[in-house]
């Protein structure tokens, strides 16, 4: 650490810890580690299926590819660090590592919403404008959509952390089990953080209002189109292709809402707040592979075909 103009910069930060009974430390670690392994394995399997299976080489799955990729980033940026702290006694992190973790977690939070929007738009075009689908969803269009989802998210979060970087640090305690922008700002020397707070609220409102509005527009039009369709098979197939996306979107919004509520409750324990915060980066990475495995027929079929070929090759 070094001093400059009575300011102290801490290169190593102390982290809050989960209050877990000693007898439950190792069982908690083992369960958490198994959950993490399941999430990584299942999301990697989906990524490999999209890359290797020709039947999945379609605009819908090119866009969908970003979802398990983001899920891997989200859970890997947060959970291993927490698991190590559960069984370790250090509970410290270097300042650069803390900033990097926070950046990735914020990227994940916004990125998931932008990707789900692109997936909703893809289904809107496919179901509401089926005759124009191939004309609209060209490789250039798909590439632009994916680039926008990642690029806008990266730009918004980069500015957020550039604003955070100018804030002088005087404290060394992160009041959370993982690093985020708010925790980093709480290390400040009592400076005026109005600009940071306004920008943070502004991009949160922009991302939420924009993504929710576009998804509502898409799914309402899809529902209306399906209700007008007299063919029950076509209606069921169309709705089923959207169901997984709707479940993922609702889950993410509900978990986020619970987290916000938990932080606003004065009687909520630190453990409860930390657990709710962690759920944002755990729920979708763990459940998305299950949801899409059950509801996305093409992914399920491709998976069982690979298993079948594997058995034949083995025999």
Give the pLDDT band of residue 4 (cuts 50, 70, 90).
Answer: very low
Quick check: is 41 in a domain?
yes
In CATH, what number is assigned to the domain containing residue 201? 1.20.1070.10
Distances from the Cα of 298 to the Cα of 51, 174, 246, angstroms: 13, 44, 18
Helix (H, G, I), strand (E, B) or coil at 268: coil
Segment 159-171 shows an average pLDDT of 90
C-alpha neighbours within 13 Å on the C-beta side of residue 310? 6
What's the domain count of the chain?
Answer: 1
Quick check: is 3 in a domain?
no
Quick check: is 82 in a domain?
yes
Quick check: is 268 in a domain?
yes
Quick check: is 2 in a domain?
no
Quick check: is 181 in a domain?
yes
The residue range of the domain holding 234 is: 10-314
pLDDT in tens, 57-116: 999 999 999 999 999 999 999 999 999 988 887 789 999 999 999 999 999 999 999 999
Beta strands in the chain (DSSP E): 2-4, 7-9, 12-15, 92-94, 173-174
Q: Which tokens sit at 59?
A: 């605009």
**What is d(CA 43, CA 280) in angstroms, rounded to the nearest whole number?**
17
307, 234, 282, 309: which is closest to 81 by C-alpha?
282
Q: 0.85 cut: is pTM over it?
A: yes
């Amino acid at each position: 650490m070094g001093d400059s103009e009575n300011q102290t910069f801490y290169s190593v930060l102390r982290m809050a810890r989960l209050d877990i009974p000693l007898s439950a430390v190792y069982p908690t670690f083992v369960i958490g580690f198994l959950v993490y392994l399941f999430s990584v394995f299942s999301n990697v399997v989906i990524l490999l299926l999209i890359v290797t299976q020709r039947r999945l080489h379609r605009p819908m799955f090119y866009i969908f590819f970003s979802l398990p990729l983001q899920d891997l980033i989200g859970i890997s940026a947060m959970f291993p660090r927490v698991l190590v702290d559960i069984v370790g006694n250090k509970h410290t992190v270097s300042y650069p590592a803390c900033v990097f973790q926070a950046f990735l977690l914020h990227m994940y939070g916004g990125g998931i919403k932008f990707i789900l929007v692109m997936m909703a738009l893809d289904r809107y075009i496919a179901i509401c404008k089926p005759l124009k689908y191939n004309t609209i969803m060209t490789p250039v269009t798909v590439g632009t959509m994916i680039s926008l989802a990642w690029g806008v998210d990266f730009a918004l979060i980069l500015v957020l952390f550039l604003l955070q970087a100018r804030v002088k640090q005087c404290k060394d305690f992160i009041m959370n089990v993982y690093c985020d922008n708010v925790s980093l700002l709480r290390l400040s020397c009592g400076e005026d953080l109005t600009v940071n707070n306004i920008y943070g609220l502004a991009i949160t409102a922009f991302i939420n209002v924009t993504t929710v509005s576009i998804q509502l527009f898409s799914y309402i039009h899809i529902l209306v189109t399906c209700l007008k369709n007299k063919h029950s098979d076509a209606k069921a197939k169309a709705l089923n292709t959207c169901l997984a996306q709707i479940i993922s979107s609702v889950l993410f919004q509900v978990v986020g809402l619970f987290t916000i509520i938990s932080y606003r409750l004065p009687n909520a324990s630190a453990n409860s707040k930390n657990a709710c915060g962690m759920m944002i980066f755990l729920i979708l990475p763990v459940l998305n592979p299950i949801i899409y495995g059950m509801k996305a027929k093409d992914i399920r079929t491709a998976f069982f075909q690979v298993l079948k070929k594997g058995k034949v090759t083995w025999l």
